[in-house]
Structure 1
Amino acid sequence: MKLENVIAMVTGGASGLGEACARAIIKAGGKVVAVDMNEQRGADLAVELGDNLIFAQGDVTSEQDIGAALDACEATHGPVNALVNCAGIAIAAKTVGRDGAHPMSSFSKVIDVNLKGTFNTCRLAAERMQHNGADEDGNTGVIVNTASIAAFDGQKGQPAYAASKAGVAGMTLPMARDLASYGIRVNCIAPGLFLTPMLQGLPEEAQEALGKQPLFPKRLGKPSEVADLAVFLISHSYMNGEIIRVDGGIRLP
């Protein structure tokens, strides 16, 4: 898929990994509709990046919100042919902790946003992508989902987050098989420790300690490094059904 022809919906597109992906797609010549809950940040980003980005406030778990975002994209840029899912939340709670059993409400919330929300955007975007004209390889669209190395190396206090991201990773191959006949590819990125707003809120000493954990290089990842991989997966027509770790070789203890 030629990057100058990419019209992408990026969820979580107003900050962190999603913002980096939106910027990278636009830099490569594509257009973006960024979906995020943060209305002010999204509006600021749209002003900064100009006509190549429109912002749609929305909840990834809402069929109505995602449908409206796809409609806005189609009206402004044209039919979406790429989806990059970066929206997600994280909590820290043990199965049984000092305050008792893990609350089901918080477990369900993480599953709803990270797993169900990802599937919701995939199904609705793919439904529209199938009607796109195909390129020389037969591509009509491409989906790039975001899991986490927690899907494979989940730590203490991460049963909800790890389960949600393992679900995202687990959808990759069956979804690629489901959508192959429509010319839609599906891949998944599993990031390690990246300098997103969540980690930026930690004390500097904590950031330094985390940055020593990867094998090499000894630092936290840059959001642009995930974005570069997302752009590669969008453009490379033979990449399909893959889950790629980008983590400096770290294995969480």
Structure 2
Amino acid sequence: MSAGPASAEIRPDGSGPGAVLPRHIAIIMDGNGRWAKARGLPRAAGHRQGAEAARKVLRAAGEAGVECLTLYAFSSENWRRPKAEVNDLMGLLGFYIRKELDALHREGVRLKIIGDHRAFPPDVAAMVDQAVERTAGNSRMTLAVALNYGARKELAEAARGLARRVAAGEIEAEAIDEQLIDSSLDTAGLPPLDLLIRTSGEKRLSNFLLWQSAYAELMFVHTLWPDFDGAALRAAIADYGARERRYGGL
């Protein structure tokens, strides 16, 4: 990933004037619990509806021509939630993979995981590995899912890795620059992050893609994640296209 401009001039929805399409969109999927509470439903129902929203948004992103969609599915802080809710999330992840993997593969979507999913139950971690392996050759678009992910942990691990390379004599300390750090992160090889969306009205990054967001456009919407859909994504893309990105210049 690089920090400079990288968007392509194409039509985001196939109609109207050409617009700048973000190559890489990331979403903090927030509001499942509040969506369920407002309807008198258990939190698990909100998570299930949130998974359906993810399916709709992935489809819309693919139709728009987005190269990469990154979803914040389970943070390293989510382990603090009640055990029953964590178990529900693990079960939902397994269900989603079983239900959607064939469609993802058929539609040319490559699955990539950022974070440490091997901390999950062995059967879930193995299922994730199998899904990644099966879709590895796909190139239409990339779905990056953040599982047991925290940006500070990611940066610390990158720093430790570079320190080990210096100690081993592989590189000089003076050779460590932004590009080398970039290539040491979980997102190495993905397009630069252009647009980061957070749903539910909260206005913080919550330890998500801190390095990668340096030049990203940030968008905070009040819609709860289960109500976010393809139309909402297209509106976000249109908003992005209307923004002027200067990268510190005039």
So what's the TM-score if we normalise by structure 1?
Answer: 0.38
